[in-house]
A and B are shown apart, each in its own frame.
Chain A
Amino acid sequence: MISMCSRTMKTTAVGAVIALLMPLAAEAHKGWIEPSKTVLAVGQWVTFDAATSTDPFIKDHNPLRLDNLLITAPDGSTVQPENAATGKLRSVFDLQLTQAGTYKIAVLNSGTMASWDDNGQTRRWPPRGQPFTAEGFAKEVPAKAKDLKVSQSIGRLETYVTAGKPSDGACKPSGKGLELVPVTAFNDLYAGEAAVFQLLIDGKPAKSVDVEVIADRRQYRDAVDAIELKSDDKGQLSIQWPSPGLYWLSASVTDSKADKPAKERRSSYTGIFEVLAP
């Protein structure tokens, strides 16, 4: 009984610490999915590494959880990954490209979080790993909590691989949150050439959104050297790829179009792209 009790206490304490660190962690660590190849022939296998770390593609922090992994085939159907496993520093999974066209590999994380001031201490609900429910919110969060902030988040992390000719069947926007759609195909990118993509928020052009693009191999240069861009009036971005390699592209929008009881909504999109040598 005693040991049970102390373990419960310990878990709660750890949970609280994690909850407190979460917003900071969300800022500091970048999620990424790294495909072994992006331009392939039909029938080939491709493997993926997925993790979160300070610098994209560097396996030195945490694996990415694959619970919300969704792979969309060129015909729009959902396909299952094979050999999915989660290690200490990264998760892995394999995929065989049985159809011709572009596949979308996505991890969608959405949720709602309440935080408030309880006699000088910041409290949060729901605890990590637990879903936000209206009943739970009514029960656990004091109606007149001081500095109550309820925020919703919709986060997309995507990458794309293509067998044969690129197609856009898997890249159709869902109309929810921040999304990126191809003008230049996602797997038709070459160093020295400009690519045009369009950012959408709830299916409509996301104008004047700041976008950050970071190249791989960060460990071999002194600075992050991020490329800073802003979407235009059509929500479009034009990216001139400086060199071949993998790129991590990210943007977020905070607005008030949240589902009640949340008042604020943060939508984010992160995409991983491979740029080829011409």
Chain B
Amino acid sequence: MKHPPFFLAICSFAAAPAVLAADLDISVQIPQLDVAEYHRPYVAVWLEREDHSVAGNLALWYSQKRGGGPGPGGAPPADAGKPAENKSMAGGEGGTKWLPDLRQWWRRSGREISVPIDGVSGATRPVGEQKFSFTVGKAPLAELAPGKYKLLVEAAREDGGRELVDIPFEWPVAAETPLKTQGKSELGGVSLLLKP
């Protein structure tokens, strides 16, 4: 009788076989920074297995400049090879030019895939809390085999710094599990709510 209502709610959910939709609710805080020239950070959010292989790309925010080529690791932009005719001195690379600055993400998957990634990539986000939710087995997140994982969030900002934070967790979970970590410079609080 002393159980808080939310605990009861979990119990009832766990007991109900119909509720199989396992979710990951993620919140990433982009901090307010007191700098002369502010550019929104590039951010990558992904899940990694114990061997560092990528279990899923969840979010990728980068500058959607006009003329952004298709892809970092994939096909060259249409004007590759031609002299810079010109969009900018560095050729028509657009916002994708700086994706390798998300260096851990680039190493783990960025260099092998083409952007945009359907349902994952998008424009840079403003200061504040960015919330998003994924259902295991539903695009862009595939089924997760039982095991140890890490949620990684990496941010890199023009004229600024770069930061990588992670939240280790084990999947599946028996009960709703709230986890969080705190960035120090380019990222604020990052939280992960695992729902069985």
Identify the A interface with B (CB < 8 A): 39-45, 96, 98-100, 162-166, 188, 190, 276-278
Contacts and interface: CB of A to CB of B under 8 A. Distances in A.
Interface in B50-93: 69, 71-77, 79-81, 90-93
B112 A165 contact: yes
10 contacts: A39-B100, A39-B103, A41-B99, A41-B100, A42-B77, A43-B91, A98-B76, A100-B75, A163-B73, A164-B72
Contacts of B96: 41
B157 interface: no
Contact of B74 (A45, A100, A190, A277): A100
B124 interface: no
B106 to A, nearest CB: 7
Interchain residue pairs A-B with the least CB separation, the first 7: A164-B73, A41-B72, A43-B80, A98-B80, A42-B76, A98-B81, A43-B77
Contacts of A188: 107
B91 A45 contact: yes
A243 to B, nearest CB: 15
B104 A43 contact: no
Contacts, number: 65
Nearest to B100: A39
B49 interface: no
A274 B62 CA distance: 25
Nearest to B92: A43
A276 B76 contact: no
B76 A43 contact: yes
Contacts of A163: 73
A60 to B, nearest CB: 29
B112 to A, nearest CB: 5
B71 A45 contact: no
B74 A164 contact: yes
A44 B91 contact: yes
A44 B93 contact: yes
Contact of B72 (A42, A96, A190): A42
B29 to A, nearest CB: 24
Contacts of B72: 41-42, 164
A99 B74 CA distance: 9
B104 A278 contact: yes
Contacts of A42: 69, 71-77, 80
Contacts of A162: 111
Contacts of A96: 80-81, 91
B97 interface: yes
A100 B74 CA distance: 7
A165 B73 contact: yes
Nearest to B70: A42
A32 B85 CA distance: 32
Contact of B106 (A39, A43, A100, A277): A39
Nearest to A39: B100
Contacts of B112: 164-165
Nearest to B78: A43
A115 to B, nearest CB: 47
Nearest to A166: B111
Contacts of A100: 73-76
Given A99-B76, A100-B73, A41 B91 contact: no
Nearest to B81: A98
